[in-house]
């Protein structure tokens, strides 16, 4: 059998670190980085006699995420203790949620090859993060507890995903949603957004699920796609041999391009869940829910619908713009400053994003070309002051020199020549100086480009291309059209 004879079944667990100032149950800083074990306290280290105190900001973030994903928010829920034993878990258990998650159901929506997809969610729950093991040479390991106790939202999907590519796009959509809401930075490289994939195969048409393997250590969208693709092939090979896939946790090794066995996969009963005795039930009132609903920003799919509807953008351009909150906000600001939407989108996608490799930079206060400055440049092209080519040169100087388009055009005398009488005189002179090309243009209309280039050269690249073309076609006759 081939891989195509199997149906791929994928469920994802995405852990989102919430951007609170302090940890979920204690007062230590939740900031990324710092010297090892510098962001710790007796609570997150699990010292005897300490008690957790819930960080309400983490709850607020979880509720807003759940509302944005269309979840049902529990107005009363509890925390639980999840027991497992690793060096990076100082208490010997993790405070999480089990049978009473704060968010039930919902879905993550995204587009794959232009089609709207919706992956159902099982739940979103709050929990604390673990520390980090650091493995050195000669088999020596260290533990950094800076991350221990950082608040997490775990987003658990239904097994609705059917390809590695779809899985990667789902994770992108989660990151975009988190950034739109402002509840986390979604940096996979720093571990503030982490993804575990449960992958299984079954014969096409079968109802029962196959045995799943969980994949960890995927810290980029590419790794999510590559790891799942490898795991699909690995399981298909095992099944083709008539063997059974082991239920286990596997690590992705990007250097070798393979998954490798880590440990047998635990089930819920292995964690010996029971209600956390040191925390009271968490209550969210209806008034709070109403306030949270009112605080939600325009979400990616809503923005996509607006851009492709009333704004008039193509689905391709709209997809690029809504991918990151900063990109979409920058675009809206350029349009609000007076630039035509389609022109603004073209300049943003092809010029601004080429220089601002990290889309989040578009939100910086000291961005070299802020939205009003780009709007000014676009309007100079629209009113004929600058040609498209000159405008690109001006934009490059705006980025490096931090000057506006108007300042550069005025100082350098770069305004486009659109005066019809001046251009007419230049065109007549060029035509008169090249009688052989004039004779040939009647048989080869493409030769008009020669005359356009000559006129542009004489005007120092400042001539209005449309006006030049119109004059030359009139002077050269119908054959040049």
Asked whether residue 146 is assigned to any structural domain, the reply reads yes
Quote the domain boundaries for residue 120: 3-288
Asked whether residue 231 is assigned to any structural domain, the reply reads yes
Q: What are phi and psi of 97, to 5 degrees?
A: -130, 145
pLDDT tens-digit profile of 39-79?
A: 999 999 999 999 999 999 999 999 999 999 999 999 999 99
Residues 6+ apart with CB under 8 A from 303: 318, 321, 322, 328
pLDDT value at residue 470: 85
| Overall average pLDDT of the 189-213 stretch | 93
Question: Token digits for 47?
Answer: 């010292």
| Overall average pLDDT of the 145-161 stretch | 97
Give the global pTM: 0.86
Whether the predicted pLDDT of 478 surpasses 70: no
pLDDT tens-digit profile of 113-125?
A: 989 999 999 999 9
Mean model confidence pLDDT for the chain? 91
According to DSSP, the β-strands at 115-128 and 103-104 are antiparallel
According to DSSP, the β-strands at 193-203 and 141-144 are unpaired
pLDDT tens-digit profile of 16-40?
A: 999 999 999 999 999 998 999 999 9
**255 lies in the same domain as 179:** yes
| Overall average pLDDT of the 169-176 stretch | 96
DSSP 279: S
Whether the predicted pLDDT of 346 surpasses 70: yes
Q: Kindly report the CATH number assigned to the domain that includes residue 427.
A: 1.10.10
Whether the predicted pLDDT of 480 surpasses 60: no
pLDDT tens-digit profile of 246-290?
A: 999 999 999 999 999 987 766 666 889 999 999 999 999 999 999
Q: Which CB contacts under 8 angstroms, 24+ apart, belong to 402-409?
A: 402/368, 404/373, 404/376, 405/373, 405/376, 405/377, 405/380, 406/376, 406/380, 409/380, 409/385
Compute the Cα dihedral for 469, 475, 477, 478 and give only its sign. positive
**101 lies in the same domain as 46:** yes
**58 lies in the same domain as 96:** yes
Asked whether residue 226 is assigned to any structural domain, the reply reads yes
**11 lies in the same domain as 139:** yes
Question: Token digits for 459?
Answer: 């005007």
Phi-psi region of 338 (alpha: psi -120 to 50; beta: other; left: phi over 0): left
**363 lies in the same domain as 431:** no
Domain count, the chain: 3
């Amino acid at each position: 059998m081939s891989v195509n004879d199997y149906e791929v079944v994928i469920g994802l667990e995405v852990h989102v670190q919430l951007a609170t100032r302090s940890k979920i149950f204690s007062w230590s800083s939740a900031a990324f980085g710092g010297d090892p074990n510098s962001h710790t306290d007796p609570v997150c280290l699990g010292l005897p006699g300490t008690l957790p105190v819930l960080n309400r900001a983490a709850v607020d973030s979880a509720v807003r995420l759940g509302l944005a994903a269309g979840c049902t928010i529990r107005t009363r829920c509890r925390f639980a203790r999840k027991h497992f034993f690793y060096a990076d878990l100082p208490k010997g258990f993790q405070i999480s949620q089990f049978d009473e998650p704060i968010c039930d159901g919902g879905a993550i929506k995204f587009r794959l090859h232009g089609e709207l997809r919706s992956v159902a969610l099982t739940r979103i729950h709050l929990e604390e993060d673990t520390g980090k093991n650091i493995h050195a040479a000669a088999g020596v390991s260290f533990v950094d507890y800076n991350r221990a106790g950082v608040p997490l939202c775990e987003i658990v999907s239904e097994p609705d995903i059917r390809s590695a590519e779809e899985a990667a796009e789902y994770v992108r959509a989660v990151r975009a949603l988190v950034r739109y809401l402002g509840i986390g930075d979604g940096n996979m490289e720093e571990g503030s957004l982490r993804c575990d994939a449960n992958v299984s195969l079954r014969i096409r048409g079968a109802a029962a699920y196959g045995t799943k393997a969980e994949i960890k250590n995927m810290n980029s969208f590419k790794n999510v796609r590559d790891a799942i693709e490898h795991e699909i092939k690995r399981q298909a090979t095992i099944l083709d041999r008539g063997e059974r896939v082991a239920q286990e946790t596997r690590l992705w090794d990007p250097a070798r391009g393979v998954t490798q066995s880590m440990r047998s996969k635990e089930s819920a009963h292995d964690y010996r869940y029971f209600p956390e005795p040191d925390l009271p039930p968490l209550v969210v009132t209806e008034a709070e829910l109403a306030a949270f609903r009112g605080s939600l920003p325009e979400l990616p799919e809503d923005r996509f619908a607006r851009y492709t509807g009333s704004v008039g953008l193509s689905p391709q351009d709209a997809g690029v713009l809504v991918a990151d909150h900063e990109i979409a906000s920058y675009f809206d600001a350029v349009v609000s400053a007076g630039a035509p939407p389609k022109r603004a989108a073209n300049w943003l996608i092809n010029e601004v994003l080429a220089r601002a490799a990290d889309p989040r930079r578009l939100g910086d206060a000291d961005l070299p070309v802020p939205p009003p400055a780009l709007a000014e440049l676009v309007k100079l092209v629209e009113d004929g002051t600058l040609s498209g080519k000159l405008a690109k040169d001006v934009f490059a100087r705006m980025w490096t020199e931090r000057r506006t388009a108007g300042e550069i055009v005025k100082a350098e005398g770069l305004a486009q020549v659109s005066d019809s009488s001046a251009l007419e005189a230049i065109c007549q002179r060029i035509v008169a100086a090249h009688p052989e090309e004039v004779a040939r243009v009647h048989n080869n209309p493409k030769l008009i480009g020669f005359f356009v280039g000559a006129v542009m050269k004489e005007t120092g690249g400042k001539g209005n291309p449309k006006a030049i073309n119109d004059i030359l076609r009139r002077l050269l006759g119908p054959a040049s059209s």
